[in-house]
Structure 1
Amino acid sequence: TEAGVPVIVDATASRRAWREMARQLIAHFAEVQLVCPRELCVDRERAVRWCLAAGGVARRGAPGTVAAPDVAPDYEHALAPELTLRTDRQDAWSAIEAVLRLAHQLHRSASGASHR
């Protein structure tokens, strides 16, 4: 960013053109694609929407939470993401570590570019 602070944004941009626009507007941009089988994605969406805990047990949603959008049937997969996470095979902590490594790489490349 202009302030030199790394930013991670959680967003669903189902169209490649939207992600490409972000890439053109943001100097140090990286696309992270999360991949899992559609059935698992639907189950996860249902759990979020209905505030289900592990095992399908209903729980109270946190105040102010908003249901996640439906699974986008017209999602255009990334052609060359900087990072792909297989969320059906990878545990949450290793995925988080991978995203943080990527953020650090972006920060280092931004710092190097600003010192030239």
Structure 2
Amino acid sequence: MAHPTLLLVFNRIGPGDPGTVIAHLAKLTEGHWRGAAYEGDFHMYDGKLPIVATGIKHLKEHGPAGAVFPRFSRPQNQMLLEAIGNPRRAVARSVPNEGVGRQSGRSFSRVSHVPSGVR
């Protein structure tokens, strides 16, 4: 079952650096959001919680449509809809029954039939 994305917005109060806080939080929660890596740069995030974080200062400077949202597990800041979305979902659904990766000698393939209402 997929979890909804958790969006955290930090407001700087006191001497703490929000960038450091976000990095520390990502490290502490890694087991909850890090996916399993497979061949071909494919990752499986079943049962994982997508986490997106930013600071009020960045939102004020760039607005909510700016690329100010780092998602834990992704290397760069993104716009909100990109950060909470899954850009590979459309690609994955457009290629039915093809293998998506391999881990520990096991091969995985996509389900050819997705019930209506799920897409």
- TM-score between the two structures when normalised by the length of structure 1: 0.30
Q: Structure 2 length as normaliser, TM-score?
A: 0.29
Which of the pair has the greater relative contact order for Cα pairs under 8 Å at 6+ separation? 1
